[in-house]
Structure formats: structure tokens, C-alpha cells
Amino acid sequence: MVSKGIFLLITFLLLISHCPVGSQLMESVSVLENSELGTVVYDLREGLLRILDPGQLANVTVYAGQQDLFWPFALKDLRIIVARPLDREAICEKQRAFDLSQYLSGALNGGDCPIYHCCQLLHINVVVSPTSPTQVFFIRVAVQDLNDNPPTFPHLESPFATIPEDLPVGERIPLPEAIDIDSRPFGVMDYRIARWIQGNASHFQLNTMTDQEDEEVNMKTGHPYLSVVHPLDRETEEVYEFVLEAIDGGQGDGESPFTGSVGILIRVRDVNDNAPEFDEKAYSAVVQENTLPRRVLQFKVADMDAGENGRVFLSIFDPTHKANNLFRVSLQNTLPPPEALNRYSQSRRTPGSFYTASVHLLEYPDAEQLPPRLKFHITATDNGQPPLSSRAEVNVDIINVNDQAPNIVFLREGKRLTSSRLALPEVITVPESIVVEVHVTDSDSNLGQLSCSVTSEMDAFRLIEVHPFSNGGDSAATVLSNFRHSIPSSSTFSSSSSFLFPSYRQFTLRTKVNLDRETKAAYMSLLSTKNERTMDTVLHMQKRLHLMLRPGGTKDKRQEWELFVVADNDSAKPLTRNASLHVSISDINDETPRFEHTAYQGHVRENQANAPVTHLSPSPTLCVTDADIGRNALITFSLKEAPEKAGKGHPLNASTRDTSDVGYFRIDPRSGRLWTVTALDAEEDAPGEHKYVFYVVATDDGVPERRSSSALVTVLVDDVNDNPPTFEHYTYNFENAKEVH
């Protein structure tokens, strides 16, 4: 059942058991023009489940190859949706702009675009896991046309035509053709005269004429024209004015068709009964881009009238105005050909007017701004009363030359980098992680003529081209061969079919090792591309790789390396574009603060409040280092009680202090300097116990986890002579016994 929303016609060409997991998945879906925003065009889960395990689908990452070329569609929750107003005619323009089938092989066979549809090729990258290769999927979306555009006529001068009064009955007067940019079923189907304004309508009959040899004409209803059905008399009717209306094919469901109209004025004047004639109906020429030849085209024009009626003027007729801005035509009188002289030698009538005409270039043609074939008409108009005119078709092929350097774009997860700098987290970035995607384009070279090379840290990074249908390691020829063998014989695959292709070549820059900031802080990657003017296709590229390492420095001493990898193929004058990418490693808190020594001993004088602890040994200060940087290396000092001093009654706590040793001291959290909290009295402790033992803890401010280490500090209280000698008792009695002899 077909609804006015969206319907899917899905043809699977790649989901075959013989295809590897990394192979290309090609889907063909159809969507109705002007579908509502948010309409689901295709659910990628259906295709992914055919090549992935259900467990892999939960962790898969899917993103558009390049969002600029993905519009008007977008990816959301593994679904392709309509994200912008969907206009088939805009898709048609994009399809014509990016159809590279004349340069590339059939590796991306998706079949012909359905008739009356316009197709867009959506590039989707699939990464099953952070270390797995990128898998490229191309979803072809065919946009079905709606009748949403009325016929339109070009702007007309007034009068549109001037005809001689002796125009024979049955003669045809060409009328302007209407253009309907919708597809053929909704294109112009008929013409009619909506209203006569002036003149006798019975003198003319409206008809259409088709040229079966002209494919463009076959897509329309034909050339409208007026047939003269009664003799004309200028003295009776000088002006005929009417409204010509074009009618399109309608929607086909009962809705009224669209119409377009134009006012046409035809003037009848006195006889000038010969129009200029070209020696050919159509002319062809070839012009190479960026050249200015002396003459593009030369031809003959003749008018059998004489005098003013035979004086001819040439003009260029091109609705796009491209030919008017690029070419000019010149005209020069010439002698009649011998056959004309012989024909009129026995009569008094002059043989007419004969001219040699030339087409010249006004400026250098730019193939990037012009279509490959420029089609226009040259109109020859005489100076008779009224003037008569005729037209000849001109086709000029613009030959492209290599005058544009390739363009390099860095992307991460399908989004273009806003600068040439990129930060990667150390340690977390495991080997084979994607750093960036590199898209290489060239406006005047096909993809098979491009080569890409990288100048980077060879020990840490590598550049890999992502071939369509491949798992990242196969050549394009091998991939195409495997793809063709995987297609069942009943499929409609044909090597002669026309295809849709991506407009760029994709590479990925991946890591080769765990990135450790403490080993190297930054990497500079210089990427260069060359476009090569060669006849090799994408399946027959012959590349030579040259590795060159700049001398100087070692890994342990240098902050940046530049390693040049140049890829080239046979080309006389390739154009090159360089792009640099600065990759820095962002620090994570993977290093613990470390004291210079595990234990320290210091001294403090008794009887002094806020007395500093001095004479630290084995070093005069508490020295702590942290190999991290920034917040991860911001150290805070604190004190912690030593376990052996935790409880009363312990041998080291014989002084029976009410406060633990750590309670008598304070420490500066930044500098690590130690002071006493109160004045210490060496005499309060038992003999030999003039010391305090505790830990100094150094803690960094890292995230998500802080790291710390400690050192044991012993502080000895230096005794001062602050107590006089005392007797144990205030009085002593001595008895001296008298010696008895």
C-alpha cells in the first residue's frame, strides 16, 4: 500500500554470506518528495544485523562520511531521516554534479536510478569498535517526484515575432516552450490558447511538433507552434495578441494540474520573404580550458534578399547567459558561391547576401564554472521590414585541464575540524585508534588521478586509505572482484550499468602505539596530495612510496618530529596541496607524586611557638616531583599520623602525650614548610624521647582520581638551657656516727 508519506523499496546487493564483515553494504531506498521532516528513510539496524552479531550492534558507531554532502538527510539513532525540506529537483542537480561514473569503475554498483527519480548517494562510516577498521556503507536514496512545480515560460520580448503578410498558409510560427522541472509524468503535457486579446483567432491554429531524434524533446510534449490556416493581411490585422498556456501532467490522483502562461504578441508587416539561412543546422567545436584561440568556429550565413532585407545580424541566444558572457560572433561579407552566381546569371535579380561568420572567445574558459558541453543557439536576423530570423544550434565541448590543486579536509566523526590542531588523551588512545579522517577532493580531476601522502611520526601514526567495499587492506581491484563474485547470478548486476559515486577519497590517520605524553608531547603531521593527469583508473593505480626522515634529535630529546611520506605516480606536471595537522597529547593523571627521599629528619627548638622545622636531612627541603602537567601536577601537602605512634602505651609513646605527634605541627599546603603549632618542651618527654614522628603526604589535584605518596618525617626537639639545677628534696639530714674505738 502506497501512502503519501514514505515507502521503501529495498534491494540488497551486498548482504551476501560471502561478503566479509568489512565489506560495503549497499541499500537502495525510495522516498517521496516533500516528505515531512523527521521521516525515517531507512533503519540501518536492518542492514547491520545482516553482517554483524547482535552483540556488536550495541557498541557500533555510525556517522555520516561528510555531513555537507549528506544533506538533506541526517543520521539519528541509526536511522536515516529527512532533516531538511526534500526537493527532488535539488537532488537532481546534486546527482548530475557528483555522478563520476565516466571516470571510475563499477565498484559501487547500485543499479540505475529508478526512472523519474533522482538519486543521492549517502556515505556512511561504521566503526564496530575503537580498534576495528572503518567500514564504508553507501545508501542510495531515490527521491520520487511530486507534481510541485508549474510550467514556466522564458521572458519574452514584445513583439515576440514579426511575420510577413504573405506568409503561406500552413507555415509554422514557433512559439516559446514552457519548462517544467518536474519529471516527465508531471511535465508539460499540452498547450492551449487561453485567451485572444487582439486579432482574428481563426487565422491560426495551435499545434505541437516533436523531434523523435532529440531525447530532450521527447521528455516534453514538443515544440508549440502556430499554423497559418488563412491568408494574412496586414492592412486588416496588423497585430495578433493572445495568452499561451502550458498544462502539466497533474498529480494523477484527481488533483488539478498546474498551468503556466505567457502573453505573446505577433506583428504582421510588409513583405520580407526570405529569412537568413545557415549552411548547417548545428555546429560543434572543442575548446581547451584556459586557452584563448583566435577562432572557435566558422560558418556561412546567407539571405536571398538584397539590400536592407538581406543585411544580417547575428546574436547568441542562451537562457543561461553563459554563452553570452563567454563568446561573441562576428560577420563579414563574402562573395556568393559559384552555384549562386550560375543560378542568377541569366536574371536581373541579385544573388542575395552572403557572409562568413566566426565565433570568438571573450575570456579564458573555466571548466570548473561551465558544463562539459555548452549548448546554445546563434540567431541570424535580417534588416528587412519586418526582420526575419533563423537559428542554428552550437555545441562547444570544454576540455578540462589540470589547473586546480587538490583540497584536503580533516574530519573527526564526520565533522570538519575548525582548526589544524587536535588533542588526544594519552594512554586512553590505544593502538589503531582513529585520529582524523582525511577527505581529498579535486574539482577538475577524477578520483583515480589523486594520490595522498602523509608526513608524520612513523613510529606513532599511519595513514590508511578506506576503499569502498573493503576492510581497509584489500586493493580496489581485489575488492571489486570479490564483490562481483558475491552477487548471485539472478541479480541485475551489469558492468555496463551507470552508477553513483562518492566525490572524494577517504583516508584515516590511526595510531600505532599507546600515546604517552611524558615520552613525547606533540606530533606534527604534514599531509600533502597531488593530482595526477594519467589515464589509470582507480583500479589500476601504480604508486611508489618514498620515506624520508629529517635528521637531528632523538625521541627522548625532541618535542616534535616531521616524517615525510610522499606518494606519487607518473605525471608530467602534478599540482600539490599541503595541509598540516598538529596533534598534541592531553595529559591524564597517570603519574604519582614522588618524594626525593622516603624519610627526613629535622630539628626544632623548644619553647618557641610557630617554630620552623630546620636542618632537614638528607635534603634541606621536602622535594616532590610529578611527571604530569597542569592540574594533574598541582601538589598539596598534608600531615598524617604515623601508624607506630597511633596508640598510647606504644613503646614510642612513652611520653604519654595527650595529643598525637602530628597534632603538634602544621604544614604549608603548597611549599611543604613545617612549623610547630605550640611551643614544645623537651623536658616533658621521657629522657631520650625528644622527637616527634609523622608522615608528610603529597597529593596531586588530578581527575578523575587523585594520586598521592608520603615520606616519614622525624622532628627532634633541641634542648636549651632553660632549667636551673634542682635538688630532689628541699632538705637533707646527715648523721655522722662517732667512731668508737
**Which pLDDT tens digit goes with each residue over 446-456?**
666 677 777 66
pLDDT at position 105 over 50: no
The angle formed by the CA atoms of residues 590, 595 and 599, to the nearest 5 degrees, is 140
Q: Are residues 410 and 382 in the same domain?
A: no
pLDDT at position 621 over 70: yes
Q: Are residues 322 and 232 in the same domain?
A: no
DSSP string, 36-105: PTT-EEEEHHHHHTTTS-HHHHTT-EEEES-GGGTTTEEEETTEEEE-S---HHHHHHHHHHH--TTTS-
Q: Which one of 128-132, 167-171, 265-269, 345-349 scores highest in mean pLDDT?
A: 167-171
Whether residue 563 lies inside any domain: the answer is: yes
- Alpha carbon 176 to chain centroid distance? 41
Q: What is the pLDDT of residue 351?
A: 64
| Mean pLDDT, residues 546-573 | 39
Can you tell me the distance from the alpha carbon of 23 to that of 484, in angstroms, rounded to the nearest whole number? 12
Q: What is the pLDDT of residue 537?
A: 32
Q: Name the average pLDDT for the chain.
A: 76
270 pLDDT tier (thresholds 50, 70, 90): low
- What's the pLDDT tens digit per position in 183-228? 888 888 889 999 999 999 999 999 987 755 444 444 456 789 999 9
Amino acid (one-letter) located at 202: S
Q: What is the pLDDT of residue 389?
A: 93
Amino acid (one-letter) located at 681: D
Q: Give the SS3 label for residue 528.
A: strand
Q: Are residues 46 and 189 in the same domain?
A: no
pLDDT at position 585 over 80: no
2 pLDDT tier (thresholds 50, 70, 90): very low
Q: Are residues 365 and 293 in the same domain?
A: yes
More confident call, 585 vs 300: 300
More confident call, 159 vs 401: 159
| Mean pLDDT, residues 64-93 | 83
Q: What is the pLDDT of residue 34?
A: 84
Whether residue 392 lies inside any domain: the answer is: yes
pLDDT at position 102 over 60: no
Can you tell me the distance from the alpha carbon of 173 to that of 171, in angstroms, rounded to the nearest whole number? 7
Beta bridge partners of 287: 398
Q: What is the pLDDT of residue 25?
A: 52
Whether residue 668 lies inside any domain: the answer is: yes
650 pLDDT tier (thresholds 50, 70, 90): very low
Can you tell me the distance from the alpha carbon of 357 to that of 379, in angstroms, rounded to the nearest whole number? 12
Query: 33-37, 146-150, 287-291, 550-554 — which is least confidently predicted?
Result: 550-554
Q: Are residues 425 and 384 in the same domain?
A: no
Q: Are residues 201 and 130 in the same domain?
A: no
Query: 73-77, 456-460, 534-538, 608-612 — which is least confidently predicted?
Result: 534-538
Q: What is the pLDDT of residue 296?
A: 93
- What's the pLDDT tens digit per position in 336-372? 887 766 654 543 345 678 999 999 999 999 888 888 8
Whether a cis peptide bond, with omega within 30° of 0, leads into 618 is: yes
Q: What is the pLDDT of residue 36?
A: 86
263 pLDDT tier (thresholds 50, 70, 90): very high
Per-residue cell: 635? 601538589
Can you tell me the distance from the alpha carbon of 422 to that of 440, in angstroms, rounded to the nearest whole number? 19
Whether residue 259 lies inside any domain: the answer is: yes
285 pLDDT tier (thresholds 50, 70, 90): very high
Whether residue 481 lies inside any domain: the answer is: no
244 pLDDT tier (thresholds 50, 70, 90): very high
| Mean pLDDT, residues 564-579 | 59
More confident call, 313 vs 529: 313
- What's the pLDDT tens digit per position in 493-502? 444 444 444 6
Q: Which one of 438-442, 522-526, 650-654 scores highest in mean pLDDT?
A: 438-442
Q: Give the SS3 label for residue 314.
A: strand
| Mean pLDDT, residues 542-549 | 28
Q: Are residues 445 and 568 in the same domain?
A: yes
Q: What is the pLDDT of residue 328?
A: 94
Q: What is the pLDDT of residue 562?
A: 46
Q: Are residues 132 and 27 in the same domain?
A: yes
Q: Are residues 386 and 325 in the same domain?
A: yes
| First CA to last CA distance, the chain | 148
More confident call, 128 vs 459: 128
Query: 416-425, 476-485, 487-496 — which is least confidently predicted?
Result: 487-496
Distance of CA 316 to CAs 8, 66, 414, 598, 632, Å? Answer: 46, 41, 46, 93, 73
Beta bridge partners of 676: 665
CATH number of the structural domain spanning residue 663: 2.60.40.60
Whether residue 210 lies inside any domain: the answer is: yes
Final residue of a structural domain among 86, 111, 144: 144
Other C-beta atoms closer than 10 Å to the C-beta of 12 total 14
Q: Are residues 433 and 576 in the same domain?
A: yes
- What's the pLDDT tens digit per position in 107-134? 444 457 788 888 888 888 888 888 888 8
**Total structural domains in the chain?**
5
Q: What is the pLDDT of residue 440?
A: 80
149 and 181 in contact (C-beta within 8 Å)? yes
The angle formed by the CA atoms of residues 123, 129 and 135, to the nearest 5 degrees, is 25
Q: What is the DSSP letter of 652?
A: G
Q: What is the DSSP letter of 483?
A: H
pLDDT at position 481 over 70: no
| Mean pLDDT, residues 254-282 | 87
Q: What is the pLDDT of residue 602?
A: 93
Whether residue 344 lies inside any domain: the answer is: no
| Mean pLDDT, residues 131-150 | 84
490 pLDDT tier (thresholds 50, 70, 90): very low
Range of the domain at 364: 277-337+352-399
More confident call, 502 vs 162: 162
Q: Are residues 294 and 228 in the same domain?
A: no
pLDDT at position 86 over 80: yes
CA-closest candidate to residue 391, choices 269, 225, 280: 280
Whether residue 426 lies inside any domain: the answer is: yes
Query: 482-486, 626-630, 676-680 — which is least confidently predicted?
Result: 482-486
Q: Are residues 620 and 707 in the same domain?
A: yes
Q: What is the pLDDT of residue 486?
A: 52
Can you tell me the distance from the alpha carbon of 188 to that of 260, in angstroms, rounded to the nearest whole number? 10
